[in-house]
Structure 1
């Protein structure tokens, strides 16, 4: 009886210790929004906004802090993607435990430049506006502050949270329409 129990535990141990590659790699559907958002990783960053699987088509968008190998994002386009995910054993402390690789762009939709969208400009006191070479979103996207430049400056200096409503002017420039 004891030999049978030991044998059973050994078999179970072997079965549970085997790695299952199906759990390591899978293909998922993902939607990427037409504009980037701000987020805080080790420092402030621009992130893609994504929906995965069952969230696609809802109003729920998540900041995506990784990159998708082989995917060339261009502002102004909503992308539907098929993406392979692979578990990374022993990822770096500040890195993702999942590697994302583009399998296929299944569809794209150009978004009209007049479509409005919101971006956090300051969150928890962390300012995402840089001014060293003109008004920019984290040194990358030019901001036309329209007739709201003074109001924006005041809000950034006096509030912990500032949200801007924008429309796209070009692929690398957005125009501020409203401040919250």
Structure 2
């Protein structure tokens, strides 16, 4: 009997601890006090379709993945949840939220919290498998505009399409295209001539600009303070060097190893060996 009681007590304590953890994350926002608020702003959050396993102050847990639109390029974990938001997996959300930053957050808790104001958008994510159902189109013309650009495209039957590509309508799916690029565009296709595409996601199948670049093989990597000096050669054994680091490549930085085949975008300096001032490294699979 005593053993059963102890088991029930442990279960009750664990459940109560979980409940308190959720309640605390909300009560922090509600009861923090004006004197402890550093700032309050209204932002738009994008919430990914699935939670991820993460480790917070209370150990192993599931975290929402969020991006502040116009601010974050990569998904980040939200350990404390979003007050007032009932997350349903399988949907990508755009939320208007109040972002609250604390001066002195409680121990083992972050300083930033979000409170739901409005659900702007809720939709199923577009997967690579879904992208494969769309026709491959070739960009034939680019016309720059105020907030983005208008792309004219054609399919293999010479049928014409147009789509407006801008950050306001594509958000973090925004991408810069060039004439000659081959792409797949997910979205709504209007029955018009040319066909107008209300793009939701664009996937580049083949970049025209990469065709002109030499295919290079990594032959040596020398680690440095902020990155690596990469030695490469082309099919004719011509030598190339470049610096690969986060400071000079930012989000385009990729980790390389000897034997990798790449095409490198950037400025090629006429020297020996040829020095590449890299802006993007494209691995060839």
- The TM-score bracket by the shorter chain reads 0.3 to 0.5
TM-score (norm 2): 0.30
Query: Which one has the largest radius of gyration?
Result: 2
TM-score (norm 1): 0.45
Q: Which has the higher contact order (CA 8 A, sep 6+)?
A: 1
